[in-house]
A and B are shown apart, each in its own frame.
Chain A
């Protein structure tokens, strides 16, 4: 709430009060907050599971939890983090809040559908929480058959129904974004004047739309097989367990691009703002997003090199997997080149962005090891894979999410967070993250398989390092929760553009009015026109501490 002794300006937060005004809102900005609270909740649930996993792995023996419990912990950690945190996080929170504003629109194309998406997400989440409460599920988030369809005696059907339902939340969000970006751009906002955040969400939405339905049907078949004792994936009755793997990975590989493309979009906003320069190679970055989305649909078999898939299929998937890495490399080079001869400040969002570039580089490069057939045979299903994807999903995607939340926090709340604490938290997260996951590359090459509850004693030192890092990382994640909430009441009041950033969202008051713009903007400038900003005029309203 705005405790300032000035005339109260009406904005989207104070235009109405009460639970109903939030639960029945169609304002994209309020819906973004609904998602923010929900994904944060699921993040900490998933984090709780991770904490228990890392505690157990401090010792080679299984002394904290039983094997069955451990299997449920890593399964629930994966399901919660992927489907209920990572996939919605940036699109449903920042995308929802910002896309209409960035293109000069009053709202998304289908505001009621947007609210429905949140309710669907919550419904799916309830099913999954119910599965956890009923004893959990132990198939791994990948639900491979025939273990998941026949052998597991845990709550598989309940969990996959939860994920199935939540998938529709993604599909409808993607649909909303695509229509909005096509049809609701303000006059003068051509495709190549769009912020790269919008481009990356457009690419992500393509994946939402085309990939998620295939996951839905894969999981539906598993659920039906379990409930009705069918034999679709039962090899003893003519079924093919590899069919499940193909159907599952057809979605779940593009899903990882759902999890990183929005983060890349955030970085494409932070780097130019805190270097005060246009993004180097704007068109290349924009097209790279689309290229990643498209090629990303063609590489799913790289999860199945050792599965019994044909050698020739393996070669095709390997080649395509190398190709999909190229646009990501192009983006990294372009972001780095943006820094050249810039004017760089070290605000917390920029620290997250710079950290992202480094960690995403490592994560992406280690992906090449996995795409390389001869090496993947050795490191597949080991901690090498775990390290790789956590570098992308935690070291990159979560850092981008936090960077974005910090950057747009003044716009969303009208308050500044504490910059000192934020920089400290960013540093703690960076250090904790690397200490947690770098040792896992070594563990993986040494041969420690993933999903192992107990392990040979020679792997203990690296596991202890990893768990120590995780404890530091946990501190880093709790800090923002504390100081962000604190800032809602006690943070410095923010003006409309505390970062002197370009972009239509910064031309509205902080927090914005419900309809975003008093008058529909007319766009005449290219994106990131930092060289065109007059320093004097833009200086006003900048918080004293930066």
Chain B
């Protein structure tokens, strides 16, 4: 703050301080070089101002040592910036394993949020302080971008695929949420707020309002209502492969290739099942494109992920 005027947004996440620190470093280097150049230019322009038309300045044409020096120093400084920035980038986009996953569906021009416990929000996201939160995001139409200045984090949100970002809020409060990828007429209206609450308050908030069905339960209901359970039996006796323990594991495809069963793979298997056929199975799965919303897909995803956990809890100790 300068004279009560904010120059920086609040630091409200674990990454914010690190981003600001790197920013200060760059600011220092930039201020140093900008001042140096400004000073030299003004100083030379004044000190060596023309006093007579007959002046003939010394023919200085260059200095190899100087050239090497002012190439090497910036190179060294920029390499420091690169390494520091790359490490920060890697951490910013690598969520911790214990992050709670919240789903976000963007559409022109609103943010739809669903918590795993089932709580839904529009243009708002309530999170507890001190817990890492991972957002699984997709768009129903064009490219959007989920941006929270106070957390120093943003990621483009794309149609037909998932992108993720994570943060751990450190300060209770309300913070701006902006869409920051131009997405049409009401792009600047696609804003919201992130509400960070103390853990106890968050639990109360989750439990408040109408009783919501958790994402996993909603997903299971959809799974059965749409007939998925007919072919995808847990014991693998159906026409489709069993989905128990599937998530995150490699899948052998017909034709020899192997892919990892991540979120994008599962989503594609629902909307375009013919794209990748599991080895040993026939391509008879109906195409569910247009029959399930993005929210529904995310719920089924949560259910399928839970099948993994179920297997673990059932395993004998």
A residues with a Cβ closer than 8 A to B are 62, 67-68, 71, 138-140, 144, 146-147, 150-152, 235-236, 241-242, 275-278, 280-284, 305-308, 311, 314-315, 318-319, 322-323, 325-326, 329-330, 332-334, 336-337, 339-346, 354, 357-358, 361-362, 365-366, 368-369, 371-378, 380-382, 442, 445-447, 449-456, 458, 461, 530-531, 533, 535, 539, 542
Contact = CB atoms under 8 A, between A and B. Distances in A.
A447 B49 contact: no
Given A278-B59, A378-B19, A307 B156 contact: yes
Given A342-B44, A530-B57, A152 B184 contact: yes
B90 to A, nearest CB: 7
Given A330-B70, A381-B147, A446-B6, A71 B185 contact: yes
B279 interface: no
Given A446-B149, A451-B188, A318 B60 contact: no
B62 interface: yes
A325 B159 contact: no
B235 interface: no
11 contacts: A277-B60, A281-B61, A332-B37, A336-B44, A339-B40, A371-B78, A373-B88, A445-B9, A449-B147, A453-B188, A454-B189
Interface of B: 5-9, 18-19, 22-23, 26, 29-30, 33-34, 37-38, 40-41, 44-45, 48-51, 53-63, 66-67, 70-71, 74-75, 78-79, 81-82, 84-90, 92-93, 108, 141-143, 145, 147, 149-150, 152-156, 158-161, 163, 176, 178-189, 191, 289
B81 A322 contact: yes
Contact of B89 (A276, A277, A311): A311
A236 B133 CA distance: 29
A277 B75 CA distance: 28
Contacts of A241: 143, 158-159
A333 B44 CA distance: 13
Contacts of B160: 235-236
B19 A340 contact: no
A319 B186 CA distance: 36
Contacts of B147: 381, 447, 449
A461 B4 CA distance: 13
B70 A282 contact: no
Contact of A372 (B71, B82, B184): B82
A306 B154 contact: yes
Contacts of B67: 281, 284, 330, 334
A151 B159 CA distance: 13
Contacts of B29: 365, 368
Contacts of A533: 56
Contact of B187 (A362, A369, A380, A451): A451
A381 B147 CA distance: 10
A372 B84 contact: yes
Contacts of A461: 5
Given A280-B61, A375-B26, 7 more contacts: A146-B142, A146-B143, A333-B70, A346-B49, A373-B89, A447-B9, A450-B182
B65 to A, nearest CB: 11
Contacts of B149: 378, 446-447
B48 A146 contact: no
Nearest to A70: B188
Contacts of B89: 305, 311, 314-315, 318, 373-374, 377
Nearest to B188: A452
A372 B50 contact: no
Contacts of B141: 146, 151
A446 B159 CA distance: 28
A361 B40 CA distance: 12
Contacts of B145: 306, 381
Contacts of A242: 158
A295 to B, nearest CB: 13
A361 B59 contact: no
Contacts of B50: 276, 343-345
B57 A277 contact: yes
B7 A146 contact: no
B142 A446 contact: no
A455 B86 contact: no
Contacts of A318: 82, 85-86, 89
Contacts of A311: 89-90, 93
Contacts of B153: 377-378
Contact of B81 (A235, A333, A372): A372
Contacts of A67: 185-189
Contact of A381 (B38, B161, B180): B180
A255 to B, nearest CB: 19
A446 B7 contact: yes
A138 B183 CA distance: 10
Contact of A539 (B49, B53, B92): B53
Contacts of A452: 178, 187-188
B40 A445 contact: no
Given A277-B59, A280-B62, A306-B145, A374 B84 contact: yes
Residue of A281, A329, A373 contacting most chain B CB atoms (<10 Å): A373
A381 B154 contact: yes
A374 B70 CA distance: 26
A459 to B, nearest CB: 10
A332 B71 CA distance: 11
B279 to A, nearest CB: 22
Residue of B29, B108, B145 contacting most chain A CB atoms (<10 Å): B145
A56 to B, nearest CB: 11
A-B complex: 3 closest residue pairs judged by Cβ atoms: A447-B149, A374-B88, A373-B89
A150 B187 CA distance: 16
B88 to A, nearest CB: 3
B92 to A, nearest CB: 6
Contacts of B143: 144, 146-147, 241, 307
Contacts of B70: 329-330, 333
Contacts of B161: 235, 308
A380 B182 CA distance: 12
A71 B187 contact: yes
Contacts of B181: 144, 381
B154 A378 contact: yes
A445 B37 contact: no
Residue of B9, B74, B108 contacting most chain A CB atoms (<10 Å): B74
A530 B85 CA distance: 45
A308 B163 contact: yes
Nearest to A339: B44
B214 to A, nearest CB: 28
B158 A373 contact: no
A365 to B, nearest CB: 4
A447 B176 contact: yes
A326 B81 contact: no
B57 A151 contact: no
A351 to B, nearest CB: 10
B159 A339 contact: no
A280 B60 contact: yes
B8 A445 contact: yes
Residue of B56, B90, B150 contacting most chain A CB atoms (<10 Å): B56
B183 to A, nearest CB: 6
A368 B87 contact: no
Contact of A341 (B57, B154, B179): B57
A306 B9 CA distance: 20
